[in-house]
Chains A and B, each alone.
Chain A
């Protein structure tokens, strides 16, 4: 990411490339074509109801793992595997609570 770019662009472009809605300033794409992340042998978060990923080091190895919440209120963890090259993640495991049951945010 060109870190200064978004703000500069938002300002510099404000009178030039305006917006689809009048509220949203446009800026050139700065991301590579998105790729689907894998967790073990399957896609990360596949078939979950509205998967919501969060980067967090769950096992204290200094690598950011991916924690995925969903609409049902359940959480899984995909541990980042050490090594060079593209990020690799282990298969997702359920996040359990101290009571031995699956941590469950859904109570409705």
Chain B
């Protein structure tokens, strides 16, 4: 959830706009003293603005729709989780740029009304790069429109998720330089600002996945720096083990494997016990079995945690922790940092 401070309803006070994981954009209206709790930003028919996947509040389940797909359909299935309010078509009101954390698309929802009386279209329009719908490698975390290269027009900065847990390529930050105008943006290929992470570090060295960036002159030297939230993923070097430690590691690993096998058997037994039942009955049966075994489960979890605690310093596993990083720009140019909109 990437907050944007913007006077969305043109009442002279800053509001907070954000796309969130439920699949829609929201706004918290401000009155100059604070903000109300957020509400959804709806289209002109009163429907939620989504891509494809969204949390259905009526059924309380994840759901999907093609209702908002652009003409000719979306190129991949999308899940909107980021939004940036900006005047995309130069008509003086805020449209909504939409970022897709599932498929990497960037789309725009045009405001056919005004800021005071918004009337958002019912369909998404794909943002193009090189004449084709933009698909960001690693999928989209967050978006910014900012004049990155100081040519007077807004460029599009995009952060990417990358592989969030495993060893595959992580996230990066890219800029799509605007070769058109603010009212008619035109993008080609992206330029890499932060290379997608190859991971494999022995200590936290950079944000490796889920890169959420913002732009500003943090160090006051007249150029644009990046601040980037994200997960560092690293594996501390393993210590050299003596013979006794090696034996102990083998014992602990076996103990852990045995505990895992018992857990797996239990889950398998639940699966068997609920096979053929309707959803309500299966949920009830599952709850009953979990309650029955609750004490055993608690004890096993404690044992497992104790084994892992002892094992960890001997065979350190992969670590994953979120931080916020400063990427200080080393260039010597100058740009109007207030150009962000």
A residues apposed to B, CB below 8 Å: 1-7, 9-10, 14, 19, 21, 23-27, 29-32, 34-37, 43-56, 64, 66-73, 75, 86-87, 95-99, 101, 103-108
Contacts and interface: CB of A to CB of B under 8 A. Distances in A.
Contact of B330 (A1, A86, A97): A1
Nearest to A84: B220
B323 A23 contact: no
Given A50-B210, A86-B219, A24 B137 contact: yes
Contact of A47 (B26, B188, B228, B322): B322
Contacts of B177: 6-7, 10
A1 B328 CA distance: 9
A28 to B, nearest CB: 10
A27 B191 CA distance: 7
B327 interface: yes
Given A6-B148, A53-B214, A103-B37, 13 more contacts: A4-B333, A6-B149, A10-B191, A24-B174, A31-B193, A35-B328, A64-B218, A66-B324, A98-B35, A103-B28, A104-B38, A105-B28, A108-B57
B218 A87 contact: yes
Contacts of B188: 10
Contacts of A21: 137
Contacts of B223: 1-3
B20 interface: yes
B37 A31 contact: no
B1 A106 contact: yes
B257 interface: no
Given A3-B223, A23-B137, A97 B35 contact: yes
Contacts of B20: 73, 105-106, 108
Interface stretch (B2-10, B107-115, B286-294): B2-10
Contacts of A52: 1-3, 141-142, 212, 229
A52 to B, nearest CB: 4
Contacts of B3: 52, 54, 67, 69, 75, 105
Interface string B134-151: 010100011000001111
In this complex, the member of B1, B205, B331 whose beta carbon has the largest number of chain A beta carbons within 10 angstroms is B1
A3 to B, nearest CB: 3
Contact of B150 (A3, A98, A104): A3
Given A3-B331, A25-B190, A97 B325 contact: no
Contacts of A67: 3, 5
B194 A31 contact: yes
A107 B20 CA distance: 9
A53 B229 contact: yes
Contacts of B226: 31
Contact of B207 (A4, A34, A70): A34
B34 A96 contact: yes
Given A69-B1, A97-B28, A53 B37 contact: no
Nearest to B179: A7
Contacts of B265: none
B335 A104 contact: no
Nearest to B148: A6
Given A1-B333, A34-B206, A23 B216 contact: no
Contacts of B67: none
Interface in B26-50: 26, 28, 31, 33-38
B129 interface: yes
Contacts of B218: 55, 64, 87
Contacts of B21: 71, 73, 106, 108
Interface string B191-235: 111110000000011110010111110110001111111110000
B266 interface: no
Contacts of B192: 24-27
Q: 4 nearest interchain CB pairs?
A: A3-B333, A1-B331, A2-B331, A51-B229
A97 B35 CA distance: 5
Contact of A105 (B1, B191, B207): B1
A42 B210 CA distance: 20
